[in-house]
Amino acid sequence: MKHLTGRLLATLLILAVCPLAAIQAQSEVRVAVVAFDVFLVDKEMGSVVAQLITSKLSTLSGIEIAERSRLDEVLSEMELSQAGVVAPEQAVETGKLLGANAIVMGSVGKIGVKFVINIRLVDTESGKVMKAFSVSGDRQEDYLELSESLAALLAGVIRGTESAGSGSATSIQESAAVAGYWNTEWYDGIGRHGGSMFLQEKGGNLTGWTIEDIGPARIEGSVRGNALKGEYSADYGHGTFEFTLTADGERLVGSYTTSDALHSTWNAWRRPEPYARLSQGDRVLVDWSGDIWSYPAIAAKKDGNRWFVRYDDGDSEWIDANRVYAFRILPDEVVQVAGEDKKGYRSASFLALSDGFIQVEYPDGERKREPVSRLRLLRVRSWGY
């Protein structure tokens, strides 16, 4: 692993929401590893990474791996593919049919310029996520060593010998602090999409809003420890979601399932409070009155609770102050960039801002320097739409 120093981002997530003693007390633990969900990488990578982890775990004493043929048989009975196991509830049913104490599930893909593996170890008795890990590297070739690293972490959890290593591991907080603003990313058959989310939590009840390029949606659900689950509802449709909050409280790792049973990865990471004390002449982002997008502008003049803003493309308008935000874009955030004819937009990962230009990377790997005036992105409003 030495050659990964500086590239391996180390263990980003270590989550714990239930006791492990019952499993760890057994002389041998039976574990099933299902093919991982994939996003923005070859479909086969989900099975490849799962097999790498399976192979490593099978060499370790005290761990029995469920046979692949039996796993395929059980999933066929449940009318699921291996990569179709994305929710803890599905893991429970699968595990019980296999006689497994725990199931390893997750996702593998690319976030911005990083290659990422996310893993969750689910207790098949309770359905709770016992631990979750995420590692990332700069090259697709790193998947082999990333998988071995994750297998070692999983083995430590299963055996009860987990170590915090060089300080990258931290214990989980007892209650999830999920309230606030988040940037989001979700995946489908087309690619990576970005958005924005605002969450509120009171007495274990979760509410909020999310906005994606297909429109805004209402969030309702529950928070139990570091597990979030619930439903989203919008004009474009509805479905369910489940997230797990990372130990540092900075990321949500999870998935969504639509009402017609399509599912994929849905993640989020914290972003700063969008509002700030603004002064005349400040560079800002503004919810244009004409659509759901936020565009770069200059805060030209204020009158009470309204700002007169001049957009970079030449338009201007008076608009409510609560639709004018500080100009903050996080590295790797999904933005959209207009073509030179300004008739179409392409999604890209934001890299940097400099002298009126943004540096972005497009899904095909192309990096370009684009004028800020062609930028648009999504900023949720805490009070809804």
What does the DSSP 8-state code read for residue 43?
T
Check whether residue 27 and residue 76 sit in a common domain: yes
Flag whether 215 is in a domain: yes
Flag whether 378 is in a domain: no
Task: State the burial class of residue 45 (Cβ atoms within 10 Å of its Cβ: 0-12, 13-18, 19+).
Answer: buried
pTM for this entry: 0.61
Check whether residue 72 and residue 216 sit in a common domain: no
- The domain tally of the chain equals 3
Give the SS3 label for residue 42.
Answer: coil
Report pLDDT for 168: 34
> How many angstroms separate the Cα of 254 from the Cα of each of 44, 101, 126, 230?
20, 22, 18, 12
Check whether residue 197 and residue 259 sit in a common domain: yes
Flag whether 376 is in a domain: no
Question: Looking only at Cα atoms, what is the longest distance across the chain?
Answer: 72
Q: What is the pLDDT of residues 20-70, one digit of tens each?
A: 444 544 557 888 888 787 766 777 888 888 888 888 888 877 788 887 777
Flag whether 292 is in a domain: yes
Check whether residue 230 and residue 255 sit in a common domain: yes
Check whether residue 233 and residue 310 sit in a common domain: no
Check whether residue 133 and residue 48 sit in a common domain: yes
Write the CATH number for 39: 3.40.50.10610
Look at residues 95, 125, 159 and tell me which one is the last residue of a structural domain. 159
Segments in the chain forming alpha helices (H): 21-24, 45-58, 68-77, 88-98, 143-159
Report pLDDT for 82: 52
Give the SS3 label for residue 290.
Answer: coil
Look at residues 270, 285, 302 and tell me which one is the last residue of a structural domain. 270
Flag whether 295 is in a domain: yes
Which amino acid type is present at position 101? N
Check whether residue 316 and residue 249 sit in a common domain: no
Q: What is the pLDDT of residues 240-267, one digit of tens each?
A: 988 888 777 888 888 888 888 787 888 8
Residue 200 domain boundaries = 180-270
Flag whether 35 is in a domain: yes
Q: pLDDT truncated to tens, each residue of the chain (385 aa)?
A: 333 333 333 334 443 334 344 454 455 788 888 878 776 677 788 888 888 888 888 887 778 888 777 777 776 766 655 554 555 666 677 777 888 888 888 888 776 566 778 888 888 887 777 777 777 777 777 778 888 888 888 888 877 655 433 333 222 333 458 999 999 988 887 778 899 999 999 888 999 999 998 899 999 998 877 778 899 999 999 999 888 887 778 888 888 888 887 878 888 989 988 888 899 999 999 999 889 999 999 999 999 989 999 999 889 999 999 899 999 999 889 999 998 877 789 999 999 998 889 999 998 889 999 999 999 999 998 877 7
Check whether residue 144 and residue 10 sit in a common domain: yes
Check whether residue 184 and residue 227 sit in a common domain: yes
Report pLDDT for 98: 81
Flag whether 21 is in a domain: yes
Report pLDDT for 4: 38
Tally of CB atoms within 10 A around 255: 22
Paired residues of 307 in beta bridges = 302, 319
Sign of CA dihedral 290, 291, 296, 299: positive
Q: Residues 6 or more apart from 211 whose CB is under 8 A from it?
A: 195, 196, 197, 217, 292, 378, 379, 380, 385
Between CA 104 and CA 122 the distance in angstroms is: 6
Check whether residue 65 and residue 143 sit in a common domain: yes
Between CA 220 and CA 191 the distance in angstroms is: 26
Lookup: tokens for 86? 């994305």
Task: State the burial class of residue 90 (Cβ atoms within 10 Å of its Cβ: 0-12, 13-18, 19+).
Answer: buried
Write the CATH number for 320: 2.30.30.140
Write the CATH number for 231: 2.40.128.120
Report pLDDT for 217: 94
Flag whether 87 is in a domain: yes
Q: Are 197 and 206 in contact (CB under 8 A)?
A: no
Look at residues 251, 270, 289 and tell me which one is the last residue of a structural domain. 270
Q: Are 94 and 103 in contact (CB under 8 A)?
A: yes
Check whether residue 63 and residue 142 sit in a common domain: yes
Check whether residue 233 and residue 131 sit in a common domain: no
Report pLDDT for 207: 94
